[in-house]
């Protein structure tokens, strides 16, 4: 079955499988949950099962192969164009959905980052959600459902994906050929997100983690040039910045845990560094560091210039 490879979301896949068996698939779904937790993979699996020649998502027939490679002519993927999903994109999608399917029983669309609709684009999508042409299936994905227009949310069947356990993430990574030790470490640092864990492994982020932390923790207060040089190096890693900032939050969280008497650290391989910093910083200082990182993460999500966001973050750290 198409859902067999989805780990940790058995309740959701069970709902979808029962809907498939009963022929009661909704015309619009909204999959919510953390980034990289499996929302897109589940959306693809659902469409694969619907388009499969044997109606089971065999993964082998031409229809399944084209869906899995996102090359099926009746499957459309819509993502933000820059900071937002724009009205021209919605109109183009509406034109596509109004045409007869090439080979599938109906057309389908996966909309990434559904919380980033421009106001006019979101309003334009409403009519399509209310009356999808030709029984089209629309699946919206978001990690921030509260930012999605209420009128859009109300027209979708909501399915909430949760973070996976460390064991489940480790299993997914080792299944993809990642070294078990690296898989376990990435799973601990990923916050239950397989996508984030895979990014940590594939982008070499784990290898430079200690260097990054030591660089951040030793920022000079009286040497602005070095501070801005560090900011420039961080901003140059724009594609990996969310993961790098998550690593900082995880490290500072470990400081708080150690100060509170817990030994359940995520950064177990850096325990000496964690203990050293825990003795040097107050809990109040650590909480402020976490707050600064979270604010920088939100700024990046709003498409703020990465260099400016890192300049502000490191200046706050140094202060």
Return the CATH number at 265.
Answer: 1.20.272.10
- CA-to-CA distance for 123 and 98, rounded, in angstroms? 18
Cβ burial of 90 (10 Å; 0-12, 13-18, 19+) is buried
Regarding whether 241 and 154 lie in a shared domain, the answer is no
Is the separation of the CB atoms in 40 and 112 below 8 Å? Answer: yes
- What is the reported pLDDT for 90? 95
- CA-to-CA distance for 310 and 229, rounded, in angstroms? 11
Domain range for 102 is: 10-160
How many domains does one find in the chain?
2
The reply to whether the predicted model has a pTM over 0.85 is no
Is the separation of the CB atoms in 183 and 173 below 8 Å? Answer: yes
Regarding whether 313 and 240 lie in a shared domain, the answer is yes
Regarding whether 155 and 21 lie in a shared domain, the answer is yes
Last residue of a domain, one of 160, 194, 216: 160
Regarding whether 215 and 156 lie in a shared domain, the answer is no
1 lies in some domain:
no
Using alpha carbons only, how large is the chain's radius of gyration in Å? 22
pLDDT of the chain along its 319 residues, tens only?
Answer: 578 888 889 999 999 999 999 999 999 999 999 888 899 999 999 999 999 988 788 888 999 999 999 999 999 999 999 889 999 999 999 999 999 999 999 999 999 999 999 889 999 999 889 888 888 999 999 999 999 999 999 999 999 999 888 888 998 899 888 888 888 888 888 888 888 888 888 767 777 788 888 888 888 777 778 788 888 888 887 777 888 888 889 899 999 999 999 888 888 888 899 999 999 999 999 999 999 999 998 888 777 888 998 989 988 888 7
């Amino acid at each position: 079955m198409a859902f067999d490879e989805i780990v940790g979301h058995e309740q959701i896949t069970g709902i979808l499988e029962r809907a498939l068996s009963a022929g009661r698939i909704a015309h619009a779904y909204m999959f919510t949950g953390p980034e990289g937790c499996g929302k897109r993979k589940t959306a693809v699996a659902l469409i694969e099962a619907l388009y499969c020649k044997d109606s089971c998502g065999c993964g082998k027939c031409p229809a399944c192969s084209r869906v899995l490679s996102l090359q099926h002519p009746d499957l459309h993927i819509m993502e933000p164009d820059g900071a937002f999903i724009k009205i021209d994109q919605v109109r183009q999608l509406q034109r596509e959905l109004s045409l007869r399917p090439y080979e599938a029983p109906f057309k389908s669309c996966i909309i990434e980052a559904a919380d980033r609709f421009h106001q006019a684009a979101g309003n334009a999508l409403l009519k399509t959600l209310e009356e999808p042409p030709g029984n089209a299936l629309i699946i919206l994905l978001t990690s921030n459902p509260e930012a999605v227009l209420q009128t859009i949310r109300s027209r979708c069947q909501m399915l909430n994906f949760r973070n996976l356990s460390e064991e489940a993430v480790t299993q997914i990574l080792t299944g993809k050929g990642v070294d078990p030790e690296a898989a376990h470490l990435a799973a601990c640092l990923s916050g239950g997100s397989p996508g984030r864990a895979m990014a940590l492994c594939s982008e070499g982020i784990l290898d430079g983690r200690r260097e990054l932390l030591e660089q951040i923790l030793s920022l000079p207060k009286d040497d602005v040039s070095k501070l801005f040089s560090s900011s420039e190096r961080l901003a140059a890693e724009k594609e990996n910045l969310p993961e790098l900032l998550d690593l900082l939050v995880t490290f500072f969280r470990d400081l708080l845990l150690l100060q509170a008497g817990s030994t359940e650290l995520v950064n177990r391989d850096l325990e000496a560094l964690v203990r050293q910093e825990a003795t040097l910083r107050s809990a109040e200082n650590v909480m402020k560091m976490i707050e600064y990182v979270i604010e920088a993460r939100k700024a990046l999500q709003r498409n703020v210039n990465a260099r400016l966001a890192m300049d502000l973050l490191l200046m706050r750290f140094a202060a």
